[in-house]
Amino acid sequence: MVEVLDSRWLERARDKRWLVAVSGGRDSVVLLDSLVREGVENLVVLHVNHSLRGEASDADEHFVADLADRYGLPFLLTKEDVGGIASSSGKGLELVAREVRLAAYVKGVTAYGCEGVALGHHADDQAETVLFKLLRGSDGFKGMKLENELYVDPIFLKVYRPMLGARRSTIDRYVQEYELEYREDETNNEPFTPRNRIRHEVMPLLSDVMGRDVVSAINNAWEACYQMDDFLDSQINFHQMLDPQGRLFLPLLEKQHEAVQGRVIHWFLKEKGVKDLSRGVVHSCVALCHVHGVAKVNLPGGGWMRRKEKRLFVEWGE
């Protein structure tokens, strides 16, 4: 039997209820099938129709509904006009799609009393994500976690990626072994998107240049950085850096190493609802620790990080 699930996670998963996000593509179909075969019986199938590919999106929806029916599992559908929302709101398509998915996860987890949502990301996705974020300069050398918790109003949503240790080639073998059917998303092969070019052009080129498969090397480097970041965070008392009004207190923050200042400011901005943080923005905010008088840094979303009276705080525009 081809194994694709994390064994440690699987041991804890069997006696809990899980929301499984299924797009209809190969990875999510393998995730659902493997969970069923491994005896994780209390599952709810969620499909999010982004309405971005016309009849193909609706065909995906029907495919997943039929799949859930064949497994005898509850089926939950969220259907939104992501393109229309993006146009009317002025937000990017990718951001709106993510917000729609997160809202769907919260709805499903809450409605069915699930432990969390299981997603079908795998090791090759991880390497591509790490490389993409590194080159884009967003949040530094960051990847996905096997288990993660994030606040999505009104709950803390638990997100699990049980196949994160499995290679794409292993998932392909699983499909062949069990003769699984799945839907092809033609947009995954479009050559003009950065993520697709990393997958189809950059990763093969890197492997060719190095004379070896680079996925494990990238993921091992990310894992080492993550462990160091996790340790650093465990040593920082973030709330101790705040004054009674919830502002960063500079006399305390200025005494910290610059790496700690960056972690504290990153945490603080996230707590204040600032999204899409780049390393450049965080570095600019760290620089506020070393100036005198009143100063400010523009933030994503129309706000500012301001320095005044030995405090740092966030202000939002009208």
CATH at residue 57: 3.40.50.620
Residues pairing with 19 in the sheet: 44, 117
CA–CA dist 16, 253 (Å, integer): 43
pLDDT digits (tens, 9 = 90+) for 4-57: 999 999 999 999 999 999 999 999 999 999 999 999 989 999 999 999 999 999
Q: Is 278 annotated as a binding residue?
A: no
Q: Is residue 192 part of a domain?
A: no
Q: Is 23 annotated as a binding residue?
A: yes
Residues 109 and 174 in one domain: yes
Q: Is residue 211 part of a domain?
A: no
State residue 162's pLDDT score.
98
- Say whether 142 sits in a helix, a strand or coil: coil
- DSSP per-residue string spanning 191-249: TTSHHHHIIIIIHHHHHHHHTS--HHHHHHHHHHHHHHHHHHHHT--GGGGB-TTS-EE
- DSSP per-residue string spanning 277-308: --HHHHHHHHHGGGS-SSEEEEETTTEEEEEE
- Say whether 89 sits in a helix, a strand or coil: helix
Residues 11 and 147 in one domain: yes
Cis peptide before 154, with omega less than 30 degrees from 0? yes
- Which pTM was predicted? 0.86
Q: Is residue 1 part of a domain?
A: no
**Higher local confidence (pLDDT), 59 or 190:** 59
Q: Is 246 annotated as a binding residue?
A: no
- Domain coverage including residue 254: 238-316
User: At 291, is the pLDDT very low, low, confident or very high (cuts 50, 70, 90)?
Assistant: confident
Residues 176 and 268 in one domain: no
Q: Is residue 226 part of a domain?
A: no
Residues 262 and 174 in one domain: no
CA–CA dist 98, 167 (Å, integer): 24
Question: Considering its fold, how many domains does the chain have in total?
Answer: 2
Report the relative pairing of strands 303-308 and 75-79 from DSSP bridges: unpaired
Most confident by average pLDDT, 67-81, 88-102, 284-298: 67-81
User: At 138, is the pLDDT very low, low, confident or very high (cuts 50, 70, 90)?
Assistant: low
Report the relative pairing of strands 303-308 and 295-299 from DSSP bridges: antiparallel
Q: Is 138 annotated as a binding residue?
A: no
Q: Is 27 annotated as a binding residue?
A: yes
CA–CA dist 86, 182 (Å, integer): 28
Q: Is 24 annotated as a binding residue?
A: yes
Residues 11 and 156 in one domain: yes
Q: Is residue 233 part of a domain?
A: no
What's the CATH code of the domain at 284?
Answer: 3.30.465
| Last residue in a domain, options 187, 214, 249 | 187
Residues 166 and 74 in one domain: yes
**Residue 61's Cα: distance from chain center in Å?**
23
User: At 172, is the pLDDT very low, low, confident or very high (cuts 50, 70, 90)?
Assistant: very high
Residues 20 and 94 in one domain: yes
Q: Is residue 51 part of a domain?
A: yes
